[in-house]
Amino acid sequence: EDKVVQSPLSLVVHEGDTVTLNCSYEVTNFRSLLWYKQEKKAPTFLFMLTSSGIEKKSGRLSSILDKKELFSILNITATQTGDSAIYLCAVPQGGSEKLVFGKGTKLTVNP
Amino acid sequence: DTGVSQDPRHKITKRGQNVTFRCDPISEHNRLYWYRQTLGQGPEFLTYFQNEAQLEKSRLLSDRFSAERPKGSFSTLEIQRTEQGDSAMYLCASSLNPPYEAFFGQGTRLTVV
């Protein structure tokens, strides 16, 4: 069965720290991996990764995919309190358009 | 507002009652998804529409659950004879075509008492 495992499940840091969030996956017929940020309600889209080794970057956030080792990382540099959220990783299930999500990493950035 | 909108945002209902939620996707998006999320878990897939056709349903979607998307625009999710275990956040998402960049609505939080 397709699955996504995120680690750590929870992380507390101070403003200015750099964090790395991990996502490993098992899926048949891999097509893409997506990262979302969930603050109060709706997950908001961050990145979609399809190719190994190509870094996607948006401001202080960046992400990279390793299709050989079946994982992705999300880096956040110079963290701010506004980065506090749950970060979700998801992959489309093989042969389906359903997204399989991990449990998420709850990031808390303290001032 | 051109995002995905859901209504209501919160619903409290008594066990055994029926509830219906609505989702209005981004207008040009032909794909619409329903997910359910409980505390400490990622969203779990319930069902998916391409235009008006319901193409996939999860095993989670018992016969008490039904979803429609008439005319391929908005969608409704109905839960009949609600149970306490139905308490969750119900999220709707839409996308244009694969590859799967789905945009989520704010969700409807259901509490069954």
- Between positions 84 and 103 of B, the ones with CB within 8 A of A are 89, 91, 98-103
Residue B14 Cα, gap to closest chain A Cα (Å):
23
For chain A, list residues with pLDDT below 50: none
Q: Please give the pLDDT value at position A29.
A: 86
> What's residue B113's pLDDT?
96
CA distance B107 to A40: 10
Amino acid at B96: L
Six token digits for residue B13: 């209902």
pLDDT in tens, B10-69: 999 999 999 999 999 998 899 999 999 999 999 999 999 999 999 989 887 888 999 999
**Which residues are registered as beta bridge partners of A11?**
A107
Distances (CA, A) of B8 to A2, B33, B107: 32, 17, 8
pLDDT of residue A49: 93
Say if B44 is an interface residue toward chain A (CB within 8 Å): yes
CA–CA gap between residue A2 and residue A86 (Å, rounded)? 21
Give the nearest partner residue to A42 out of B55, B98, B106, using CB atoms: B106
Establish, for the pair of chains A and B, how many residue pairs have beta carbons separated by less than 8 Å: 68
Would you call B43 and A102 a contact, using CB atoms and an 8 Å cutoff? no
CB atoms B99 and A98 under 8 Å? no
CA distances from B13 to B36, B67, B83, B104 (A): 17, 19, 10, 24
Digit-coded pLDDT (tens) for B90-103 = 999 999 876 567 89
Mean pLDDT to the nearest integer, B63-81: 94
